[in-house]
Amino acid sequence: MRVRIPDANLLEGKLLKNILLFAIPVMFSSILQLLFNAADIIVVGKFAGPNELAAVGSTGSVVSLVVNVCIGFSVGANVLVARYIGAKDREATERTVHSAMLMSVVLGVLGGVLLFCFSRPILQLMDSPADILPSSAAYLKAYAVGVPASVIYNFGTAVLRARGDTARPLYFLIIAGVVNVCLNLIFVLVFHMGAVGVGIATAAAQFVSATLVVLCLMHETGPTRLHLSRLRFYKNESISILVNGFPASLQSSFFSISNMIIQSSVNSFGATVVAGNAAAANIEGFVYVAMNAIYQTMLTFAGQNLGAKQYDRIDKGLKTSIGTVSTIGVILGVLVVLFDKPLLSIYTSDPEVVFWGCKRFLFLALPYFLCGIMDTLVGALRGIGYSLFPMCVSLMGACVFRIVWIYTVFQKYHTLESLFISYIISWVLTGGAHLITYLILRKRIRVETAEPAVEI
């Protein structure tokens, strides 16, 4: 007997309950995606040494640049599908799904080729330490092979989440995660392949998750069903995906570039500091994705309720989401600081690497909830159709600010502490600007009208 997994209903019912029902599977899915990279770092840190750990860890910002630029466009697909579902427009939903999935193939292949061809030059521009450069470049090239699959998976997941289905993407990642860990151990312990081995393992796992999500969409029964014969760029829907997704993609690229500049600054302190910073950042990543699940929820929540013209519910959902993300961020931040050494010891047994990881925690883990609030406000803005405004605000408040900080304050106070403080200030500035932007723009959505809907 086939068991139908119920979709989350974001259009009615209790806010906190439905937000959590949607967000919790997203949270675990994001954690599993992060475990792909964490498994790489843990395996090489434990069995291949600090240099291999630094080699994998130092590539994080480069991987984020390529993958997030491509995945940024999936935000457009999520918002558009959610809006059409809320408006009960079946035909537009179908056209959007097929345009989005074809777009994922094109973007994924393009991103993978660029990363493969320019991995070493990019690392050299970041002043990657000479003793880890060959391993870092090899890892990036192996990872690049799996970029198309990663983008396809994330676009497919965006479609499923837009209709309220967050459970099945989680199941697919559980399977892929097991594959990733097993292959990591085989390539490192049996074949002694080091960083390049875990890169190959991650790429293979990404193809597993992509295959599963495509098969899932092909067996859907509603308007989100994927027919390979209908894959094409439908003009209006493709343009709408690009219009809604491009600002998110551009914002992700500038965030990644600013992080690459920060990574270059961290690289100036040597391989040991790089390794400690990489391990700590990886742990903080779990806190971030837990909070980011609320952003993903708000994105779909606002999109569906905009399509249904339930404007007051969007305001109430945002308040609930901000309270939820703050609670998650504070609790997890405190736990990270309290258990800093045991957590870092999972990645490495080198006491000096652990020391530098703990130093990062002291500055970034506790106030991390501010980043969660900032992202949740962005989700609300994008969900109601304003993607350009949060992009501009984020570019100025976070990216430009951090780059200016590095070339001014950091040059005078050349310490890790001065780098970490720039994050905190940027979260406060950007989050405050997003809140003001939302309060202004929310009034406009009440005068928007929609075309007559087609019943799904």
19-55 pLDDT, tens digit each: 888 888 888 877 777 776 667 777 777 777 777 777 7
For the ranges 127-136, 248-257, 330-339, 362-371, the lowest mean pLDDT is seen at: 248-257
Buried b (16+ CB within 10 A) or exposed e, 42-71: bbbbeebebbbbbbbbbbbbbbbbbbbbbb
Assess whether pLDDT exceeds 70 at residue 278: yes
How far, in Å, are 11, 99, 137, 309, 406 from residue 303 at the CA level? Answer: 10, 18, 40, 10, 37
Give the pLDDT confidence score for residue 329 in this predicted structure: 93
Most confident of 54-58, 258-262, 312-316: 312-316
Check residue 447 and give its pLDDT: 57
Rounded average pLDDT over 116-136: 82
Both tokens assigned to 292: 């980011």
With a CB cutoff of 8 Å and minimum separation 6, the contacts of 11 are 86, 304, 305, 308, 310, 313
In angstroms, the CA 203 to CA 145 distance is 6
Q: Quick: pLDDT tens for 411-434.
A: 888 887 888 888 889 889 889 988
Q: 175-207 pLDDT, tens per residue?
A: 988 898 889 889 888 887 877 888 899 899 999
* pLDDT given at position 453: 37
What token pair was written down for 304? 């569906």
Instruction: Tell me the percentage of the chain whose pLDDT exceeds 70.
Output: 93
Query: What confidence tier does 8 reach under pLDDT thresholds 50, 70, 90?
Result: low
